[in-house]
């Protein structure tokens, strides 16, 4: 559905159909598998060369340049930012990429510290981060450009969803974690925001992007993750994959595709 575009030529339709068929095979675990002595689970597949980019001396900088060319001139351009992102399996990698991109931007960095406390009022529960205020377009995955930072409120312009162009004022909120194993409720107060130049594959679910840089410094680790990352893009030309396998026995261009076919048996 994401790949369907109006007024495509016959050649473009053929390219898109080929890409769609490959994504379906990845999702159903039907792409031919490759095995290595160092990893006998046979979850590895070969990515077509046309989607791969080669890592330079700094792989993060390489994927950044592919996804965000001309960044220093475009970093405040909503049309430039809203349809592109770097996807990667782990939060630790997301933080590294976002920090490196943030360091390139002019101006001062504003840091907001969250804090944890014990909640003595067990009925005081708040809305989850993913649904801050749906009626105002503030849902899970909403993209915004920060325009002003104050002590307790961040002012931003919404650049995705149904409320594009509207101003949002995001306050700090309290999030409670009620774990039945604990004799207390832990409450954290923080802004429900994080940088979006890079995001985890799991967090990208539901997004439709024009350019996706898939950064695999670590392979995917759960069922269907590779399929989710590949299917975020709305055109095959926008998919750029950088694979950095630590194991020298793994062939170049190969990565894991974890699919448990028993999940499909009763569908």
Residue ranges of domains in the chain: 30-105+197-264, 115-190
Both tokens of 180, joined, read 């039945």
| 196-238 pLDDT, tens digit each | 999 999 999 988 999 999 999 999 999 999 999 999 999 999 9
Tell which CATH architecture fits domain 30-105+197-264: 3-Layer(aba) Sandwich (3.40)
Query: For helices 91-102 and 59-67, what crossing angle results, to 10°?
Result: 70
At 92-112, the pLDDT tens digits run 999 999 999 999 888 888 888
pTM: 0.88
Whether 84 and 198 have beta carbons less than 8 Å apart is answered as: no
Structural tokens at position 179: 């774990």
Q: Indicate the helix (H) or strand (E) that contains 11.
A: helix 10-28
- Both tokens assigned to 187: 């409450």
Identify the residue whose tokens are 């694979």.
Answer: 243
Give backbone dihedrals phi and psi of 27, rounded to 5 degrees, phi first: -65, -30
In degrees and rounded to multiples of 5, residue 76 shows phi and psi of: -110, 10
């Amino acid at each position: 559905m994401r790949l369907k575009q109006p007024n495509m030529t016959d050649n473009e339709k053929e390219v898109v159909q080929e890409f769609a068929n490959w994504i379906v095979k990845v999702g159903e675990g039907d792409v031919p598998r490759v095995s290595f002595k160092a990893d006998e689970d046979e979850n590895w597949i070969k990515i077509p060369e046309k989607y791969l980019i080669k890592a330079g001396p700094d792989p993060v900088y390489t994927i950044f340049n592919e996804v965000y060319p001309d960044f220093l001139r475009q970093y405040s351009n909503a049309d430039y930012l809203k349809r592109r992102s770097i996807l990667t399996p782990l939060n630790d990698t997301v933080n590294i990429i976002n920090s490196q991109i943030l360091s390139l931007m002019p101006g001062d960095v504003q840091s907001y510290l969250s804090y944890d406390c014990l909640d003595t009022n067990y009925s005081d529960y708040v809305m989850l981060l993913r649904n801050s205020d749906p009626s105002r377009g503030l849902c899970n995955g909403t993209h915004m450009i920060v325009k002003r930072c104050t002590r307790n409120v961040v002012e931003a312009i919404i650049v995705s969803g149904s409320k594009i162009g509207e101003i949002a004022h995001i306050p700090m909120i309290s999030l409670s974690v009620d774990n039945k194993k604990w004799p207390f409720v832990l409450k954290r107060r923080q802004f429900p925001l994080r940088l979006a130049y890079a995001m985890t594959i799991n967090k990208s679910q539901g997004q439709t992007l024009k350019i996706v840089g898939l950064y695999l410094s670590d392979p995917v680790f759960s069922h269907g993750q590779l399929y989710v990352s590949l299917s975020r893009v709305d055109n095959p030309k926008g998919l750029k994959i950088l694979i950095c396998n630590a194991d020298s026995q793994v062939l170049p261009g190969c990565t894991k595709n974890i699919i448990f076919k028993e999940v499909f048996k009763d569908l």
